[in-house]
Structure 1
Amino acid sequence: MLLGDVRRAVRRYRMLDPGDLVVVAVSGGSDSVALLYALRILGREQGLKLHAAHLNHGIRGQEADADEALVRDLAERAGVHLSVERLEGESLLRGAGLEARARRARYEFLHRVATRLGAGKIATGHTRDDQAETVLLRLLRGSGSRGLAGILPLRSDGVVRPLIFASREKVLAFLQTAGLAFREDRTNADLRFLRNRVRHEVLPLLRAIAPRVDERLARLADALRADAGFLDAETDRVLGERGGWQRRVRGEGRELLMDRAFLRMLPEALRRRTILRVLAEMGAPSDRAAAAVAAIEEHLAGDFRDGVRPGGIDLRGGGRIAWESSGLRAGSSRIEVSPFDLPLLLPGETRIPDGSALCLEIVAGSSDAVVFGPKRRNLCTAVFDADAIRGPLRVRSWRAGDRFRPRGFGHRRKVQDLLTEGRIPREVRNGVPLVVMEDEILWVAGIRESEVGAPTQGTARLLILRHVGAESSGTMDDECP
């Protein structure tokens, strides 16, 4: 039964704790409707508090409006409060990558709702079928073990997938038994999208050969996720400290030098992970990482008794990995970030040089849940008392001598010390955004907020800041959506 699968997933991955406030993503499709009502039942058993959230992308016209109407009706029948937001669909339709932009918009919306409410968890309706599709898609794209680990049942930013053990067949049976209506998105049948071709063409063929293929692909993802976790921990150990290239891998301004003998000594799996970490640190494009690792492996397998022949590989964006007698030298134009100082738009979005953005908004209402709720945000979000913030705000890079009063410390700290403790590489520290009010630092993004402007139980309006889409600053790790 579906409820048994949900209870098993929640228990195995420790997704939810009694009393949790959970934002439930409800699109109106079968999976999300089943998720809402399954969690409603589980909530009575475990004392969960639910809040539904629906994003109308504005892409499908009347169909999208009908989805929204159904979700409103379902939430009311379930006795669950609902947040709805509507987008102007034209903004998502511009250019390629519609699916990725729509997905990003959904998660940004869900995190905004969670931040406003002080919810520690966001539940989405990904099923075992979705997991099987994802593993196959990533296999087709040549992903490594991390990619083949598939959809994470529990993410570090609080996103959970309680239906991850449930098949779509069980979802439909649950809805039929409960007499629950749902909507079908006609774009799910559009075979121009690769995922739909895997869903409607590839998986049915595989099920005809191996009826339990979905279950086996899910088990594969679980096993590879465990392996990836172990290898990541071993890579951290090899590098000494994540982001701080000590002894064997050391930063030299805009370059990184890797010791050839040391790399050759490592087991292949650990060596590949170490190289990938270095490539990521220097800002190498992810779609070139596999080719770069293969080229480096081929180089390391060579015979160096007669010396090292000059050579190397070029990476898109101006990066290069060169073979030298002392080792492998990796250089990238993206490592060193120039200082910046920009006015912040309030409300609105301000782009900074590394391509990420600071998003600011003011929301009305009591701050009790946001400030004092469990795990009310991730490190990419900061919350202040809007009425305590005076004058224009700016975003700038770190400067020597910067100090501020981190929330919870009770005294002033050097920003440089916090960046060191946060394992931010020296080469990219200029890319870490600091939000300032005159000479007072309010937030070191991804690290700490200031005591200045901290919300209290009497706060009437909240200023919410989010650091979105950073790829090279080093501040946004797995903590960010």
Structure 2
Amino acid sequence: MRSKVESYMKENGLIEHGDTVVVGVSGGADSMALLALLVDIQKDFALKVVAAHLNHQLRPGDCDRDEALVENYCRKNRIPFENKRVNIKERANESNQSVELTGRAQRYDFYEEVCRKWKGSKIATAHHEDDQIETIMMRIIKGTGVKGLMGISNKRDRRIIRPLLACRKSEIVDYCEKNEIPYREDHTNYETEFLRNKIRLNIIPEIEKINPSFGEELLHLSEIAGEYEAFVQEQVQGVLQEIKGKEKIAFESLRKEKPIVRKMVLLSKLQESYGNLLISYSVFAKINQLLEQEGNTTWSLDIGEGIVLQRVYDFVKWSKREEKVRTKYFEYEWIEGKEQVFPRIGWFIRTDVEENTKTIKSFAKSNEKYLDYDKIIRIEEKMIIRQRKPGDRIQLVGRKSHKKAKDYFIDRKIPKEDRDRTPVFIVGETIAFIPHIGVSEKFKVDQNTKRILKIRYKDCRRV
């Protein structure tokens, strides 16, 4: 098995001369075999091998015995050993995630910690071909695409490597027995409440009664899927090079592509943001349906794993789902000649009174607006900055009638989450100015204006 794994690592560029490899070791046959094998070849590759064991405290007594076995083996063979104890059930309850997902996240976080401590260049985990078969089966059952059929990659993020993906479980156990490598059995591997165990213990044996070579055929399918994926990715790269945004894509640039290209582009961008994310066929079908809709300029879709895909007018965006909290009502005094910063709504505002000149309007910037100050003070009422209210209306400069502020927000394609934060400038009972919308006809600067009120403003959250 040593020569097989060594060749596999060389062919796939998993190990480089002089690497420091952190090996995730649970105490089971797979990880103990991987640790022993890497120690066996470390002189040939000038490797530094470090064992990392996470005691997840899920099996009282057994977990401590697992830890002791790994620690004793490392001490006997002079292998650097790092361990950590984490109550996975408690962490799972705190994060509202499954025990499996929490355990996986905690393990990889710990491996990264050890990597930083030892200046490691690789993290090796003991996934093997049987794990690959089970993973592909799980994805088929849950619903997946071609990329999901590829299964577990032998290398991820240039750091995580899986050298035993060249071996079957039976080979690994034989290697341990022949080389007298100690290991422990995890009895939870035989509990069918977990889907992976149910597939391994119940479903695959039944399928193998029909086709004894089922496992090998599924591995071949994984290879074919990988070849197909590589070809499609080449076609998609041209589209991706035109996309500059990290968390958004122009709606029309996505819509014009064929469904398979849309899918691959979106998946690539989502994985860029959130790692090895998988999305089911049914979710992509819904996305395509939304992209084809006419006239619907805003929509939102939960695509799983806490991620929301949205169309916001001209863009498709994605973000982690957060509890939406409506901006509480705000009302501030409008103070002349002073910079006002409002952290709660994310706006900066400054108003100054200046003498009017014929050229002053020609120098106006995009974040500046001018109002007739004399018209404002003639009203002799309080000036405030407040949140929009239902029914707010404004007659813009040059318009003959009033129109709802809400309709202007929609026309200007201002996202819903930004509308409640946008300050509305009020003189008495009249709306004088709304950023993104414009100035009221009542307070416009004209040829008779002697003094102007210059308003400078900035929405700091939209920069």
Question: TM-score w.r.t. structure 1 length?
Answer: 0.58
Post-superposition offset of 1:282: 10
Amino acid at match of 2:22: V
Aligned residue number for residue 284 of structure 2: 293
Query: Does structure 2 retain, via aligned residues, the 8 Å contact 1:23–1:119?
Result: yes
Q: Measured at CA, do residues 281 and 320 of structure 1 come closer, stay the same or move farther in structure 2, by a change above 3 Å?
A: farther
Q: How does 1:137-216 map to 2 (within 5 A)?
A: 137-216=138-217
| CA shift in 2, pair 1:114/1:294, >3 Å | same
Partner SS, residue 123 of structure 2: strand
Residue equivalent to 1:407: none
Contact 1:149–1:224 (CA under 8 A) maintained in structure 2: yes
Matching of residue 269 in structure 1 with residue 260 in structure 2: yes
Distance 1:279 1:50 in 2: 34
Secondary structure of 1:45's counterpart equals helix
Deviates more, 1:231-240 or 1:291-300: 291-300
Identify unmatched segments of 5+ residues in structure 2: 323-414, 416-463
Instruction: Give 1:90 deviation, angstroms.
Output: 4.8
Partners of 2:20 and 2:122 within 8 A in 1: yes
What are the superposed Cα offsets for residues 441-481 of structure 1, whole Å, 9 maximum, x if unpaired? xxxxxxxxxxxxxxxxxxxxxxxxxxxxxxxxxxxxxxxxx
Q: Which residue of 2 is the match for residue 28 of structure 1?
A: 27
Amino acid of the structure 2 residue aligned with 1:67: D
1:315 aligns with 2:301: yes
Matched with 2:220 is 219
Query: Contact 2:22/2:114 (CA < 8 Å) preserved in 1?
Result: yes
1:103 aligned onto 2:100: no
Cα distance between partner residues in 2 of 1:187 and 1:334? 33
Report what 1:53 is aligned to: 52
- How many residue pairs get aligned? The number is 319
SS at the partner of 2:147?
helix
Q: Is residue 257–residue 330 contact of structure 1 (8 Å, CA) maintained in 2?
A: no
- 1:232 paired with 2:233, answer yes
Partner SS, residue 122 of structure 1: strand
The separation in 1 between residues aligned to 2:49 and 2:88, in whole angstroms, is: 28
2:299 matched to 1:330? no
Shift of 1:276: 4.0
CA distance change for structure 1 residues 67 and 204 in 2, over 3 Å: closer, same or farther? same
Matched to 1:121, the amino acid is: K
Partner of 2:440: none
Q: CA deviation at 1:213?
A: 2.4
User: Aligned letter for 2:66?
Assistant: D
- In the alignment, is the contact (CA less than 8 A) between 1:282 and 1:330 conserved in 2? no
Equivalent AA in structure 2 for residue 118 of structure 1: K
Q: Is the 8 A contact 1:114 1:122 kept in 2?
A: yes
* Relative contact order, higher structure (CA 8 A, sep 6+): 1
Distance 1:171 1:274, change over 3 A: same
| Separation in 2, partners of 1:98, 1:335 | 21
Structure 1: which 5+ runs fail to align? 303-307, 337-426, 428-481
**Hey, what's the Cα distance between the residues in 2 that align with 1:84 and 1:297?**
47
Cα deviation, residue 61, structure 1: 1.9
Higher alpha-carbon deviation: 142-151 or 212-221: 212-221
The offset of 1:34, in angstroms, is 0.8
Amino acid paired to 1:159: I
Change (3 A) 1:293 1:38: same
Judged with a 3 Å threshold, the aligned counterparts in structure 2 of structure 1 residues 79 and 321 are, in CA distance, closer, same or farther, namely same
Please report how far the alpha carbon of residue 88 of structure 1 lies from its aligned counterpart in structure 2 after TM superposition. 3.4
In 2, Cα distance between equivalents of 1:335 and 1:129: 35
* Alignment RMSD (CA, Å): 3.6
Question: 1:194 deviation in Å?
Answer: 0.3
Q: Deviations over 1:42-89 (max 9, x none)?
A: 223332221111111122221110000100111123321111111234
Residue number in structure 2 paired with 1:15: 14
Amino acid corresponding to residue 26 of structure 2 in structure 1: S
Q: CA–CA distance in 1 between the matches of 2:72 and 2:267?
A: 48
Highest CA radius of gyration, 1 or 2? 2
- Say if 1:300 and 1:92 are closer, same or farther in 2 by CA, change over 3 A: closer
Task: Flag the 1:96–1:332 CA change in 2: closer, same or farther, 3 A.
Answer: closer
Looking at structure 2, the residues matched to 220 and 312 of structure 1 have their Cα atoms a distance apart, in angstroms, of: 39
Aligned in 2, Cα 1:334/1:91: closer, same or farther, shift over 3 Å?
closer
CA deviation digits over 1:176-230, x for unaligned, max 9?
Answer: 1112221111111111100000111112122233233223322322332343244
Equivalent position amino acid for 1:315 in 2: L
Check the 8 A contact 1:275/1:293 in 2, yes or no.
no
- Structure 2 vs 1, CA of residues 301 and 107 (structure 1 numbering), >3 Å: closer, same or farther? closer
Does the 8 Å CA contact 1:279/1:289 hold for their aligned counterparts?
Answer: no
TM-score normalized by the length of structure 2: 0.61
CA distance in 2, matches of 1:62, 1:102: 18
Once the two structures are superposed, the pairs formed by residues 301-380 of structure 1 within 5 Å of their partners are 308=294, 314-316=300-302, 320-321=310-311, 330=316
